[in-house]
C-alpha cells in the first residue's frame, strides 16, 4: 500500500510539472517578468484560491480515511452489485484508498500552488515596488580584475 501511495504521488507530481510553466500556458510568455501587474495580481488571486481548494481536497481525503477506518459499512438489500461483490470490509478499504489518493494529491498540489504564490509575490515586489519602500538584502560582490569576492549588504530605497 505504501508503494502504491508513493508511486501515485510521484505520478501526480510529474503530471503537474510536465506541461511547462503556468504563465506559458496562460499568457503565452516565456518569462514571468513579462507579465503586467494586473496579470500578476489575477494569477496571485487564482493561485491563492487553488491553494485553498487543494487544502479542502486534503481535508476531504482525511475524512474519507477516518470514515474507512472507523465507520462500519453495512451491506443491505439496496446495495449496488459492486458493494455486494466487494463486501463491507472491502468497501472500507476502497474508501480508505480513495482518501489516501485525495490526501496525496491535495498535499502535492498545495505545495505546488504555495510555491507559485511565493514566486508571484516576489515578482510583484521586484518589478512593481511600492513607493517609499526600503529593501535590504545580502549580496556577494565580485571584482572582475582581481577575481575576488566579498559579502555585503544591498540597500535599495524606492521613490
Q: What is the pLDDT of residue 41?
A: 93
Ranges of each domain in the chain: 2-130
Among 43-47, 79-83, 142-146, the range with the most confident prediction by mean pLDDT is 43-47
pTM, entire model: 0.69
pLDDT over 70, % of the chain: 84
Distances (CA, A) of 87 to 91, 92, 131: 6, 9, 66
Mean pLDDT of the chain: 83
| Higher local confidence (pLDDT), 81 or 59 | 59
Long-range contacts formed by 19-23: CB under 8 A, 24+ apart: 22/116
pLDDT digits over 32-78, tens only? 888 888 999 999 999 999 999 999 999 999 999 998 888 877 777 67
Q: Tell me the mean pLDDT in the region 140-158.
A: 85
Q: Which 8-state DSSP code applies to residue 87?
A: H
Joined together, the cell numbers standing for residue 74 give: 453495512
Q: What is the pLDDT of residue 6?
A: 65
Joined together, the cell numbers standing for residue 35 give: 507579465
pLDDT digits over 6-44, tens only? 677 666 666 555 556 778 788 888 888 888 889 999 999
- The SS3 call for residue 48 is helix
Instruction: Pick the closest to residue 32 from 152, 111, 124, 100 (CA basis).
Output: 124
Amino acid at each position: 500500500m505504501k508503494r502504491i501511495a508513493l508511486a501515485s504521488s510521484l505520478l501526480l507530481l510529474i503530471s503537474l510539472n510536465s506541461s511547462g510553466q503556468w504563465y506559458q500556458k496562460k499568457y503565452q510568455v516565456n518569462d514571468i517578468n513579462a507579465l503586467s501587474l494586473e496579470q500578476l495580481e489575477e494569477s496571485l488571486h487564482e493561485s491563492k484560491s487553488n491553494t485553498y481548494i487543494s487544502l479542502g481536497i486534503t481535508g476531504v481525503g482525511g475524512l474519507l480515511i477516518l470514515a474507512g477506518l472507523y465507520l462500519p459499512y453495512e451491506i443491505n438489500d439496496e446495495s449496488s452489485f459492486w458493494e455486494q461483490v466487494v463486501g463491507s470490509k472491502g468497501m472500507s478499504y476502497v474508501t480508505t484508498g480513495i482518501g489516501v489518493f485525495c490526501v496525496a494529491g491535495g498535499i502535492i498540489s498545495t505545495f505546488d500552488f504555495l510555491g507559485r504564490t511565493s514566486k508571484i509575490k516576489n515578482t510583484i515586489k521586484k518589478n512593481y515596488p511600492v513607493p517609499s519602500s526600503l529593501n535590504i538584502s545580502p549580496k556577494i560582490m565580485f571584482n572582475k580584475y582581481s577575481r575576488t569576492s566579498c559579502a555585503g549588504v544591498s540597500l535599495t530605497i524606492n521613490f
